[in-house]
Amino acid sequence: MEENTELSKEFLVEQTDLSTRLDLWLHQRMPDTSRGILGKWIKQGHILVNAAKTKATHKPKSGDRITVKEPKPRPMQLTPIDLPLSILFEDSDLLVINKPPGLVVHPAVGHEQGTLVHALLHHCKGQLSGIGRVARPGIVHRLDQDTSG
């Protein structure tokens, strides 16, 4: 396990907490972290039970000490690009745009540059929130590349 952690949490399992898988048990105590992320951290050794690696299916026992060492977000490897945006609303927490058809939202294979993410990074001066412990802009949308709206 890498030691580039930014936050460490420790839990002590009580008698009333039994009969639940480790990933579910942790998700109940860390609802802002998805079960998928917790499972990944368990596999990577960022989550230990009594200082030992374990599996997501492990059922914690009374007295177990569970340590969660959240990995630091991976740095974003994106360059802001000045692209025109049709902004419908903007405040300090929310930006609503009218996405034109043909504009890809997130960078992907074959669409590494010129995406909505690149345009938003330029518009917001790089100040976009991350998702899933990855320092990547958190865009909430249901629009495919060829869809407008």
Angle of the 22-29 helix axis to the 35-44 helix axis, nearest 10: 120
CB atoms within 10 A of CB 15: 8
Is residue 144 annotated as part of the catalytic site, yes or no?
yes
Q: Are 133 and 70 in contact (CB under 8 A)?
A: yes
Kindly state the tokens that stand for 15.
């008698």
Question: At 135, is the secondary structure helix, strand, or coil?
Answer: coil
Q: Which listed residue (32, 82, 93, 144) is catalytic?
A: 144
Q: Are 16 and 7 in contact (CB under 8 A)?
A: no
Question: At 76, is the secondary structure helix, strand, or coil?
Answer: coil
Phi, psi of 117 (to 5 degrees): -55, -45
DSSP at 52: B
Instruction: Return the active site residues.
Output: 144
